[in-house]
Amino acid sequence: MSDKPERFIDDEGLRLDGRRVDEIRPMKVEMGVLSRADGSCYLEWGNNKVLAAVYGPRELHPRRMQKPNEVLVRYKYNMASFSVEDRIRPGPSRRSTEISKVSGEAFEPVVMTQYYPGAVIDVFAEVLQADAGTRTAAINAATLALADAGIPMKGLVSACAVGKVDGQLVLDLNKPEDNYGQADLPVAMTQDGEITLLQMDGHLTPEELEEGLEMVKKGCQQILEIQREALVSRYGNEDEEGEEAE
Ligand code: CDP
């Protein structure tokens, strides 16, 4: 029997988890949680729990894989077998391979790859508990883990999904909305609003797509604020220190 809810949005405009259509789930981040990694971040977003670890830049072996003029950024997304209701078979799957590829590419415009020719930066994103939106949660954690590792970047990357349920656009889909909704559009963008990842499942009209991208941009801006606060609380605010020194 399907556990599809009859309605996703009530007469008050509230979703099954009490959020408004343009509200993201609560997000909590902690940086520097792993001592062996060069950079790390633990992130909770609603019921998602994700750990990101960055190793490098370090020498890449075998040498034939080295890029002579830039660093190679490798991104590995993995769902722990205990992270979902039905146990996931350990090891790569088509889904995780695809998510790893597009998520790694989402960082290409921001990581200043020219600084470490021939080296590799490994980003590992481990989903410990999954509840819809894990690829976006992983990207949000990975960008902070990269910053924690001191990787030179032009800015941060923030990610969020928008979708459609009951014929209405909703920001940051929860599990029932993801499972039974009419569309799911995960997006990642730089802090300047340049889209670096865009995937889509389901159907949206061109007008809905345009409106959805506006919604997701606002969601990403809120996430960027949370990411900035995490950076400031770990490393302090350079502007304030500069002011004090004057
Ligand atoms: O997690 P994300 O939304 O990025 O990816 P998805 O493929 O749209 O998956 C949506 C949700 O379905 C995940 O967050 C998990 O909660 C769940 N899922 C699952 O239970 N088992 C899988 N093998 C894959 C996903």
**CB-ligand 1 contact for 78 (6 Å cutoff):** no
Instruction: Tokens for 243, please give them.
Output: 């002011």
Q: pTM to 2 decimals?
A: 0.96
Q: How far is the CA of 123 from the centre of ligand 1 (A)?
A: 20
Question: Could you give the residue ranges of the DSSP H alpha helices within 85-205?
Answer: 94-105, 134-148, 175-180
Q: How far is the CA of 218 from the centre of ligand 1 (A)?
A: 23
- CA angle at residue 57 from 38 to 150, to 5 degrees? 50
Ligand 1 atom closest to Cα of residue 93: 23
Cβ–Cβ under 8 Å, residues 145 and 36: no
Q: What is the pLDDT of residues 227-243, one digit of tens each?
A: 999 999 999 875 655 55
> DSSP strand E in 167-238: where?
168-171, 183-190, 195-198, 201-202
Q: What is the pLDDT of residues 99-141, one digit of tens each?
A: 999 999 999 999 999 999 999 999 999 999 999 999 999 999 9
- CA angle at residue 96 from 125 to 152, to 5 degrees? 40
> Which residues 6+ apart lie within 8 Å of 176 measured at CB?
3, 4, 5, 8, 16
**CB-ligand 1 contact for 140 (6 Å cutoff):** no
Residues of the chain with pLDDT under 70: 1, 238-246
Q: Which of 84, 102, 216 to mutate to test the pocket of ligand 1 (most atoms within 8 A of CB)?
A: 84
